[in-house]
Amino acid sequence: MRLITLVFGGTLSDPEYRQQQQPRVFDTSFNYMTDTPPGTDPDSGSPNLRADHELLWTKELRPGVVFEPTAPPKRGDGYLIFTDPSEARYWYGSDAITHSYTGRARTASLANAIASLNEEQRARYLNPPYTIGSAMIWPVRKKDRPTMNQARGLRALIADRMDLTLECIRRHYAGEPDSPLANVINAYADFFALFDGFKEFVEFFHFQDLVTPDYEEVRFYLPFDNFKRSGIWSSSQGGDAGWPSGSRSTTPRLKSVTLGGAPARSRRVRAIRRWTLCHQRVGLRE
């Protein structure tokens, strides 16, 4: 386990967070499922995840522009709120960017792939810990439904995959209008306008591992076909057509879309560590 001590001005606004004094320890290996009350999920119920979102995403976008989401004292008032210089308020919610797909295993191909996993693989791919490397925030508004969180999960062409979500966001910044999330991204255009292009969005949320070095293309978990089929592979969608030779087994594909996953999440944690160190916000403690 590696702990990061974040030195951050002021105190956290969440009264339930156990470490109100600064500096506090930021544990990149902490599993938010462990502090989530029964009957809820970490994105809504984990006090540590909410506090970590507040701390991690409070930073400068560019000189003179600071993004500072705050957890209101009363949970019923929202998850995180950002008030801009004009006093306009914006609400944000938490979302996981990794997925086990156990709830989608209706096709024989996925059912067989899951059945073929051994105990260690099941723990790794189907029940991974929910750490900060898997967490993201998206804007939410009652008048704009579905939200990014909802659309990512409900639209089959995306199937909760962050690589496909990033491709939709890349197209938005590039002025390419067609994507499965175009209408939702346009509804929340004010959020995406906070960032000066796709590169700044990627760097702010530490998604560098999912794009090429020049930020021109997304690195997909699976071969990309321009959104012509579901984001999760199924044998009913053209058999093995379009898949690389040597990948006939469905198990490697399941691993690709579940953790696409684990390596990308781990590298995102390292990117978070590098950023905090470079900006003098942390001290590392082994």
From residue 114, give the alpha-carbon distance in Å to each of 127, 128, 257. Answer: 12, 14, 13
Q: What's the pLDDT score for residue 286?
A: 30
What pLDDT, in 10s, does the model give residues 170-179? 999 999 989 9
Give percent of the chain with pLDDT exceeding 90.
Answer: 47
CA distances from 131 to 42, 98, 139, 210, 228 (A): 10, 10, 20, 18, 32
- Partnered with residue 138 across adjacent β-strands are 93
> Phi and psi of 22, rounded to 5°?
-105, 145
pLDDT in tens, 178-237: 999 999 999 999 999 999 999 999 999 999 989 999 999 999 988 899 999 888 765 444
pLDDT at 239 over 80: no
Q: In terms of Cα–Cα distance, which of 282, 272, 203, 273 is closest to 8? A: 282
Q: Which of 136, 269, 153, 272 is nearest to 191 (CA)?
A: 136
- Residue 109 host element (H or E): helix 108-115
List phi, psi (to 5°) of 25: -90, 130
Query: Cα separations (Å) of 224 from 30, 164, 215?
Result: 33, 9, 17
Token duo for residue 212: 């090429």
Predicted local confidence at residue 238, as pLDDT:
39
pLDDT of 151: 97
94's enclosing H/E stretch is strand 89-96
CB atoms under 10 Å from CB of 276, counted, come to: 23
Task: Provide the 10 A C-beta neighbour count for residue 216.
Answer: 11
pLDDT tens-digit map of 74-98: 888 999 999 988 888 999 999 998 8
Cis before 146? omega within 30? yes
Query: Rg of the Cα trace of the chain?
Result: 19
CB atoms within 10 A of CB 197: 12
For 30, residues 6+ apart whose C-beta sits below 8 A from its C-beta are 48, 131, 132
- Angle formed by the axes of helices 108-115 and 250-258, to 10°? 90
CA-to-CA distance for 226 and 171, rounded, in angstroms? 12
Is the pLDDT at 10 greater than 60? The verdict is: no
pLDDT exceeds cutoff 70 at 164: yes
Residue pair 103/92 in contact by the 8 Å Cβ criterion: no
Please, what is the average pLDDT of the chain? Answer: 77
Three-class secondary structure assignment of 22-69: CCEEEECCCCHHHHCCCCCCHHHHCHHHHHHHHHHCCEEEECCEEECC
